[in-house]
Amino acid sequence: MTIPLAGAPAVRMLHIAKRFGDCQAVRDASLEVTQGGIHALVGENGAGKSTMMRILAGIYPPDAGTIEVFGRVVTGWSAAQAIEAGVGMVHQHFMLVPTLTVAENVILGREPTRGLAIDMARAQREVEEAAERSGFRMNVRQYVRELSVGEQQRVEILKTLLRGARILVLDEPTAVLSPPEVQELWRVLRALRDDGGTIILITHKLDEVTEISDTITVVRAGRTVARFPTAGASPATIARAMVGRDVVLAGDAQAEIARTDAASPAEVPALEVRNLVVTGERRARAVDDVSFAVQPREILGIAGVEGNGQSALIEAIVGLRKAESGEIYIAGADVTALSLREREARGLAHIPEDRHRRGLVLDYPVADNLILGRQRAYEHRGVLDRARILSDARAAIARADIRPPDPMLPARALSGGNQQKIVIARALARETSVLVAAQPTRGVDVGAIELIHARLRAARDGGTGILLVSAELSEILALSDRVAVMYGGRIVAIVPRTEASEASLGPLMTGAMTS
């Protein structure tokens, strides 16, 4: 399957190895990337992709192997040297200062000056011009803390481009972008490639790999297992190389995957939302008079372009944001005025949209993260039963296929996808009336997506009502029994799965039509 690449290589990494304590993150990986191309680096969560790219970017030194950039041996160089040489990496989790503006973040460390003072007018002008060239629409005077997740991602990309990156490494760059934003990013990347730039793209979205990349390298368990041209490769072929077996992809045989017998309306819904209004940051209604019910043994999927009120809706339902008006019921009980913990006691479980901010304590071990919020269940005479915590953690790690399977590793030592598995394992660890699942497979590989989907269906079939919010329409269609479309803070349609398709939902999601 491995073929030689034509053209002069911009990057050549040979037999790279990297260990973190007892975890062998990369064991024998090689990568060759042609100058002036878009190269996809794919593999399961924990396969070593991000570690390899952090080594290339000078963040980690390799334990073994050699690295060349534009023909120059740079093994073990620093991050500053990598930036100077034109290697820029946009990380999956942002490295921005929330209290600074867009312009201040982009020029941080290379501020233009006038005399002894920072020339902010010039900085803003330079960033505005760079944003316009890159096709990014943004207010460079706005504070980063006020931006959506997608807008923050664009700031990271712009910051890297403005520093002169000729080799641009993107780690899951579309995880937080809407479909139109993804297409705009593709336009930018193709323009960079056509101008001689080199892009290395880490992504779990195999349709993106086939759409945008020229060549593909597959890493499995820290080793390079395949390299081939994208032309002629299918998502199923790539997935098989990643996982080592055939994988059921979201979107394959959706009619067979999704349940066709819709759950009958119960006397008491698992979750009911009545006339909910949630105020946005600028006093506009982020959620505007929304009503719906989720039945026991049902998955209600909410489809929509990100930024149309989904996050505010979820935060209001789980108790992270106060609603301006309206009512929320869990298993028939009015929980509108209750806290998140009180709602959990009434039968609510939550998979948060942002695992770092809401789902994990990164410096805690995996075992402790698996019991967050349930520590009292493990107390004996006021002392945590560590033996029981570790025993339950090992069982949960095995069920969720968390890698590496070490309950005492800090959560931050795991890949993003394995961190997500921790959050989901915790949410599914107890019986609940309703599960609110926000972006449950964001940043997760195809094998793990298959496992997570199976666990969500099992929870539904066991009696849980699930509210699913996902930016991936294929995921909504694969899992949902009914689909609600959210646009402009409103539910504009709720349709049975049998009547839902990408063609029928697309116009509703963009506001081109209403039901």
Could you report the per-residue pLDDT of 81-115, keeping only the tens digit for each? 999 899 999 887 788 999 999 999 998 887 888 88
Q: How is 354-397 classified by DSSP, letter by letter?
A: -IIIII--TTSBHHHHTTTT-GGGGEETTEE-HHHHHHHHHHHH
**Average model confidence (pLDDT) across the chain:** 88
- Tell me, yes or no, whether 249 lies in a domain: no
- Check whether 515 has a pLDDT greater than 70: no
Q: Do 277 and 158 belong together in one domain?
A: no
Residues 316 and 456 in one domain: yes
pLDDT tens digit sequence for 319-337: 999 999 999 999 999 999 9
CATH number assigned to the domain comprising residue 381: 3.40.50.300
Q: Is residue 33 part of a domain?
A: yes
- Which two structure tokens, joined as six digits, stand for 270? 């698992």
**Angle, helix 416-427 to helix 446-461, in steps of 10 degrees:** 10
Amino acid at position 286, single letter: A
Q: Are 478 and 488 within 8 A, CB to CB?
A: no
The answer to whether 212 touches 201, Cβ cutoff 8 Å, is: yes
Q: Does 232 share its domain with 294?
A: no
CA dihedral 61, 63, 64, 67 (to 10 degrees): -10
pLDDT at residue 5, as a whole number: 44
Residue 507: strand, helix, or coil: helix
Please enumerate in sequence order all residues whose Cβ is within 8 A of that of 410, keeping only pairs 6 or more positions apart, or say none.
362, 363, 364, 365, 366
Taking residues 34-62, report their average pLDDT: 93
What local confidence, expressed as pLDDT, does residue 255 receive? Answer: 39
| Whether 42 and 94 share a structural domain | yes
| Residue 427 structure tokens | 């949410």
pLDDT digits (tens, 9 = 90+) for 160-213: 888 888 999 999 888 767 677 788 788 888 988 988 889 999 988 898 999 999
Same domain, 193 and 143: yes
| Same domain, yes or no: 86 and 211 | yes
Q: What's the structural domain count of the chain?
A: 2
Q: Does the pLDDT of residue 17 top 50, yes or no?
A: yes
Q: What is the pLDDT at residue 252?
A: 57
Domain-terminating residue out of 224, 243, 262: 243
Among candidate residues 222, 243, 264, the one where a domain is terminated: 243
Once rounded to an integer, what is the mean pLDDT over residues 293-320?
94
CA distance linking residue 394 with residue 409, whole number of Å: 12
Question: Which residue range is the domain that position 80 belongs to?
Answer: 9-243
Same domain, 287 and 367: yes
Kindly state whether residues 297 and 378 are assigned to the same domain.
Answer: yes
Tell whether 225 and 362 lie within a shared domain. Answer: no
Q: Record the tokens describing residue 121, joined without a space.
A: 């007018």
Residue pLDDT, tens place only, 448-481 = 888 899 999 999 999 999 999 998 888 999 999 9
Contact in structure between 448 and 414 (CB atoms under 8 Å): no
**CA 154, 160, 164 angle in degrees (round to 5)?**
135
Query: What does the alpha-carbon distance between residue 19 and residue 513 come to, in Å, rounded to a whole number?
Result: 53
Note the pLDDT tens digit of each residue in 409-443: 999 988 888 999 999 999 999 889 999 999 999 87
Task: Tell me the three state secondary structure of residue 12.
Answer: strand
258 inside domain: yes
Q: Would residue 488 count as lying in a domain?
A: yes
pLDDT higher than 90, residue 23 = no
The residue-averaged pLDDT of 223-230 equals 95
314 and 386 housed in the same domain: yes
Indicate whether 505 pLDDT > 80: yes
Whether residue 239 is found in the same domain as residue 334: no
Instruction: For 256-285, write each residue's pLDDT tens digit.
Output: 444 545 556 667 999 999 999 999 865 579
Last residue of a domain, one of 243, 267, 297: 243
